[in-house]
């Protein structure tokens, strides 16, 4: 074992020297291309185009419908003139064009850079909105992971909190509601799966999450019915009665309430609210917004 360790250490110590030896010819070749007679060859250096020229070329391409080429020009401004005013303008346009072409990761990256570098600029609200909208566009159906929905909510909340006067707040609120509804739908899907397998405690936890945290979604009525069913199956009659009573009080014309009422009365019991139940407390609080 000692001998093997020594061999490993010897090879490990030789690797950096090997890299250095390999780099020497490459470095010499590079330097040789830039020098002539021991002096720097001016012809080897190309002066970049001024930022205003690149930016205006990008705008012209964008107006001509050449979005991909325009994006390349704006990226060139950002790379070659990172501290110019045109770099700031180019960065937000790069974020927008990446979003329009469906390259959401790059749109998010460019927008995050903009928010970090120019948080007080009027376009920062739009950059933050692009982040949220890019996450929103990646939300999957309820049968799949809902991480993008959670990220969309977080990003849109930043629009509301940081830029409350911006024109994007209204749409940010709407997108948050849709994303929350999607998350609630996922919780319901998992809860129904557990319920079908007669794993009622696991099912209750999923329906409880919807009732406690997502009362503004369209799934809360069904969640109360499923709680009625699950608690009844567990033999926890007061909670089953409370779930049905709260459902009837808040959604009296709901088909979900009609089903809950029928389920209880078939067993000889009726909806009755227990004010000490977590269900009653959740609705007194109004749930999470």
Residue 137 falls within a domain, yes or no?
yes
Q: How many CA atoms lie within 13 A of 199 on its CB side?
A: 10
Higher-pLDDT residue of 35 and 102 is 102
Report the pLDDT value the prediction gives residue 284, as an integer from 0 to 100. 83
Higher-pLDDT residue of 4 and 121 is 121
Report the pLDDT value the prediction gives residue 42, as an integer from 0 to 100. 55
| CA distance linking residue 105 with residue 112, whole number of Å | 11
Give the rounded distance of the alpha carbon of 268 from its chain centre. 48
Q: Read off the pTM.
A: 0.79
Residues 178 and 216 placed together within one structural domain of the fold: no
pLDDT tens track for 187-241: 999 999 999 999 999 999 999 999 999 999 999 999 999 999 999 999 999 999 9
| CA distance linking residue 244 with residue 241, whole number of Å | 5
Residue 19 falls within a domain, yes or no?
no
Ranking 12-21, 89-98, 157-166, 241-250 by mean pLDDT, the lowest is 12-21
pLDDT tens track for 10-47: 333 333 333 333 333 433 333 344 444 555 555 555 66
First to last CA, the chain: 63
How many structural domains are present in the chain? 2
The confidence band for 160, taking pLDDT boundaries of 50, 70 and 90, is very high
Question: Count of CB atoms within 10 A of residue 232's CB?
Answer: 22
Domain containing 64: what range? 51-182
Q: Give 101-146 as a DSSP string.
A: TT-HHHHHHHHHHHHHH-TTSTTHHHHHHHHHHHHHTTPPPTTS--
Q: Can you count the helices (H) and strands (E) in the chain?
A: 13, 2
Residues 157 and 268 placed together within one structural domain of the fold: no
Which candidate, 249, 194, 252, places its Cα nearest to that of 227? 194
């Amino acid at each position: 074992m000692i001998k093997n360790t020594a061999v490993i250490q010897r090879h490990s110590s030789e690797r950096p020297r090997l890299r250095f030896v390999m780099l020497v010819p490459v470095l010499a070749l590079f330097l040789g291309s830039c020098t002539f007679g021991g002096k720097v060859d001016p012809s080897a250096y190309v002066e970049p185009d001024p930022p205003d020229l690149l930016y205006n070329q990008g705008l012209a391409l964008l107006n001509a419908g050449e979005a991909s080429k325009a994006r390349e020009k704006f990226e060139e401004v950002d790379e070659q003139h990172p501290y110019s005013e045109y770099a700031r303008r180019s960065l937000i346009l790069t974020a927008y064009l990446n979003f329009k072409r469906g390259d959401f990761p790059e749109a998010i990256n460019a927008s995050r850079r903009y928010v970090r570098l120019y948080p007080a600029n009027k376009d920062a609200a739009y950059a933050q909105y692009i982040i949220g909208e890019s996450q929103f566009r990646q939300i999957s159906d309820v049968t799949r992971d809902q991480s993008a929905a959670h990220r969309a909510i977080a990003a849109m909340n930043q629009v509301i909190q940081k830029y409350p006067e911006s024109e994007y707040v209204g749409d940010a609120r709407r997108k948050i509601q849709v994303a929350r509804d999607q998350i609630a739908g996922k919780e319901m899907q998992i809860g129904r799966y557990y319920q079908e397998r007669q794993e009622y405690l696991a099912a209750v936890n999923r329906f409880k999450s919807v009732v406690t945290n997502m009362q503004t979604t369209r799934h809360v009525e069904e969640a109360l019915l499923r709680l009625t069913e699950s608690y009844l199956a567990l033999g926890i009659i007061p909670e089953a009665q409370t779930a049905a009573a709260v459902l009837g009080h808040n959604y009296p014309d709901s088909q979900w309430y009609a089903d809950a009422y029928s389920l209880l009365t078939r067993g000889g019991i009726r909806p009755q609210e227990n004010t000490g139940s977590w269900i009653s407390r959740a609705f007194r609080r109004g749930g999470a917004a």
